[in-house]
Amino acid sequence: MTSGDNGISRDVDRLRITMTSAHADSKHASSAIADDAQPRRSMNRKASSPMMPAFMVSAPGKVIVFGEHAVVYGKVAIAAAISLRSYLLVTSLSKSKRTLTLRFPDVGMSHTWNIDELPWELFSRPGKKKFYYDLVTALDPDLLAAIQPHLANISLSKSEHERKVHQSSALSFLYLFLSLGSQKFPGSVYTLRSTIPIGAGLGSSASIAVCMATALLLQIRTLSGPHPDQPPEEARLQIERINRWAFVAEMCIHGNPSGVDNTVAAQGKAVIFQRAELNKPPSVKPLWHFPELPLLLVNTRQPKSTQNEVAKVARLRRTRPDVVNDILSAMNSVARSAIAIIEAQRDEDTSDSDDSDADNTSAKATTNGSSTKSTVYGNGDGHSRIKNGGEREEQEEEEEEPNELSALGELMTINHGLLCALGVSHPRLERVRELVDHEGIGWTKLTGAGGGGCSITLIKKGIPKERILQLEQQLEAEGYQQFVTTLGGDGVGVLWPAVLRNGMDEDEEGGMEIDVEKFLNAMGNEGVERLVGVEGGGGEREGWKFWR
Residues belonging to the active site: 261
CB count within 10 Å of CB 420 equals: 17
Q: State the virtual CA torsion across 207, 153, 179, 278 in degrees, nearest 10.
A: -60
* DSSP state letters, 10-69: TTHHHHHHHHHHHHHTGGG------SSHHHHHHHT--TT-S-PPPEEEEEEEEEEEE-TT
Cβ within 8 Å of residue 484, ≥6 positions away: 294, 295, 296, 297, 459, 468, 472
Q: What's the rounded Cα separation, in Å, for the pair 389 and 332?
A: 27
Label residue 345 exposed, middle or buried (CB < 10 Å: 0-12, 13-18, 19+): buried
Secondary structure element (H or E) that encloses residue 110, with its range? strand 109-114
* DSSP state letters, 324-343: HHHHHHHHHHHHHHHHHHHH
User: β-strands 454-459, 442-447: how paired?
Assistant: antiparallel
Q: What's the rounded Cα separation, in Å, for the pair 528 and 159?
A: 27
Cβ within 8 Å of residue 276, ≥6 positions away: 74, 283
User: β-strands 55-66, 493-495: how paired?
Assistant: antiparallel
The runs of H, that is alpha helices, within 44-152 are 120-123, 141-147
CB–CB of 212/190 below 8 Å?
yes
